[in-house]
């Protein structure tokens, strides 16, 4: 048996698919204001894999995350979490699936100002009537470095600390899959590295599945693979990324963008 810094057995890596988009299309608006945010995207996110999504502003990264997490409707194609087709679910079932299986870290933190840090972290479980696993919760809180701030409300916390509350909240319920939309965008490099290290460890040691949007090649290098989006389409993929390789790939897209 392997004991890890998380104090649990090393998770067995599987190749099962945690989430899958097939020809996923999302169109916003109508007529002249119509925007094709996702144009027949097909992509798989395997269990215990850490995927980074990159691409220029407006390329559809947040839209892809929102559609896959059941936070936004799709216009065409399919979005699955495990074996469940999201488009087949009514509102009630979708809400339950989101609550029970999906963690989401938003581009904005979405913390409730009247609740303290701990109450914010356990809110989704409180709503679901689930008791937090205390050992896991302590470990999450400790790892994101919030042990001394649990009684503070968001306006008494720094931006980085608020982001860490949002990270802890998304992980507290041990979701099957975690979507994170620029989780380190508001953090200084040290706090950012801590959060990224934590996400990577949760994948490597606990078999957590993580899909993360980032603009930062260094953040992307924590992932197992990087998927590149442009104009609502997947245009490239990189495995075992290094920051240099990611930067190189991004430069190539920029160059193409300028010449086309």
Binding site for ligand ATP (CB under 6 A): 28-29, 35, 37, 55, 57-63
Stretch that binds Mg ion, among 58-66, 89-97, 198-206, 235-243 (CB under 5 A): 58-66
Strand, helix or coil for residue 228: strand
Q: Which is nearer to ligand ATP, 61 or 249 (CB)?
A: 61
Q: Which is nearer to ligand ATP, 154 or 232 (CB)?
A: 232
Q: Which is nearer to ligand ATP, 41 or 178 (CB)?
A: 41
For residue 134, the tally of other CB atoms under 10 A from its CB is 8
Nearest distance from C-beta of residue 57 to Mg ion, angstroms: 7
**184 binding Mg ion? (CB under 5 A):** no
Phi-psi region of 8 (alpha: psi -120 to 50; beta: other; left: phi over 0): beta
Q: Which does 57 bind (CB under 5 to 8 A by kind): ligand ATP, Mg ion, none?
A: ligand ATP
Q: Is the dihedral of CA 81, 87, 90, 92 positive or negative?
A: positive
CA distance 124 to 31: 38
Q: Which is nearer to Mg ion, 146 or 219 (CB)?
A: 219
Q: Which is nearer to ligand ATP, 16 or 35 (CB)?
A: 35
**122 binding Mg ion? (CB under 5 A):** no
Token pair for residue 157? 């916390």
Exposed, middle or buried: residue 153 (CB in 10 Å: 0-12, 13-18, 19+)? middle
CA distance 111 to 11: 31
Nearest distance from C-beta of residue 62 to ligand ATP, angstroms: 3
Q: Which of 47, 59, 62, 116 binds Mg ion (CB under 5 A)?
A: 62
CA distance 18 to 171: 16
């Amino acid at each position: 048996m392997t004991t890890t810094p998380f104090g649990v057995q090393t998770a067995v890596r599987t190749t099962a698919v945690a989430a899958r988009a097939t020809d996923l299309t999302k169109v916003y608006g109508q007529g002249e204001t119509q925007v094709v945010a996702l144009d027949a995207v097909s992509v798989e996110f395997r269990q215990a894999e850490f995927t980074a999504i990159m691409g220029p502003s407006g390329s559809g990264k947040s839209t892809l995350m929102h559609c896959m997490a059941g936070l936004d409707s799709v216009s065409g194609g399919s979005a699955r979490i495990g074996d469940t087709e999201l488009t087949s679910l009514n509102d009630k079932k979708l809400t339950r699936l989101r609550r029970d299986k999906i963690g989401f870290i938003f581009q904005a933190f979405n913390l409730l100002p009247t609740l303290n840090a701990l109450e914010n972290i356990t809110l989704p479980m409180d709503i679901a009537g689930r008791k937090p696993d205390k050992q896991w919760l302590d470990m999450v809180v400790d790892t994101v470095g919030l042990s001394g701030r649990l009684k503070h409300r968001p306006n008494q916390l720094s931006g980085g600390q608020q982001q860490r509350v949002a990270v802890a909240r998304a992980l507290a319920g041990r979701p099957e899959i975690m979507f994170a939309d620029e989780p380190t965008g508001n953090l200084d490099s040290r706090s950012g590295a801590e959060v990224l290290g934590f996400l990577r460890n949760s994948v490597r040691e606990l078999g957590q599945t993580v899909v993360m949007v980032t603009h930062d090649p260094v953040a992307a290098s924590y992932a197992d693979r990087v998927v590149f989006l442009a104009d609502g389409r997947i245009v490239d993929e990189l495995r075992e990324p290094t920051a240099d390789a990611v930067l190189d790939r991004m430069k190539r897209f920029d160059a193409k963008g300028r010449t086309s």
